[in-house]
Amino acid sequence: MKKENIQYITVLQLQKLLQENEIKGGTFMGLITDTEEKNIAKPKACELDGTRKIVMTVAQAFAHAQYVNKMKKLDANYEPKPRTWGVRMENSPLIDHNGVFYLEVFFNDNVKTKVLGYYRNGVQLDKEHVRANMREKKEEMVCYRNYALTSILQIKMNKVRYMIIANR
């Protein structure tokens, strides 16, 4: 059995890795993230305010110009909309928003996403209870997400799994 290549890095090292490694075409990434669940209808009323979710996702990262080229091949009339916040880093999938860096990833219908768990104040919540209190999601042909680098627990790309450790 082939041994997996695992490296432990800080958030700052992850930022440097994403800025310096050339993203060709679309680089597939496996992500495990810890983010706030924002799709709960009336979270205070159902005592789910502050709920966080751990999610495993497979997505693609592009340098922005590559993404625009891909979309124009699908739709000749495609015109990218300007960002409402943050600045795209040149030749990188990173967004800089007031010194906080985000990884912009894209996924379509073929995306594999799995919620590993919901948590509130460090206590695991029942998935079915949380899901019963969610708003209905709208369908999108291609959607994107911006993950703060500090919310990424693991990222796998180019056959290396990076485990993100706290900056010290």
pLDDT given for residue 138 in this prediction = 64
- Residue 41 falls within a domain, yes or no? yes
Q: Give the integer Cα–Cα distance in Å for 55 and 33.
A: 5
| Per-10-residue mean pLDDT, the chain, length 168 | 87 90 74 88 79 88 74 82 86 90 79 85 91 77 81 91 80
Query: Is the Cβ–Cβ distance between 5 and 155 less than 8 Å?
Result: no
pLDDT given for residue 108 in this prediction = 63
- Residue 143 falls within a domain, yes or no? yes
- Residue 168 falls within a domain, yes or no? no
Q: Kind of pairing, strands 160-165 and 112-120?
A: unpaired
Q: What is the DSSP string of 76-101?
A: TT--PPPPSSSEEPTTSSEEEETTEE
- Residue 152 falls within a domain, yes or no? yes
- Residue 28 falls within a domain, yes or no? yes
Burial class (CB in 10 A: 0-12, 13-18, 19+), 73: exposed
133: which DSSP letter?
A: T
Instruction: Give me the number of domains the chain comprises.
Output: 1
pTM over 0.75: yes
What's the domain range around 120?
Answer: 5-163
C-alpha separations of 76 from 55, 68, 71, 167 in Å: 34, 11, 8, 44
pLDDT given for residue 48 in this prediction = 86
pLDDT given for residue 168 in this prediction = 41
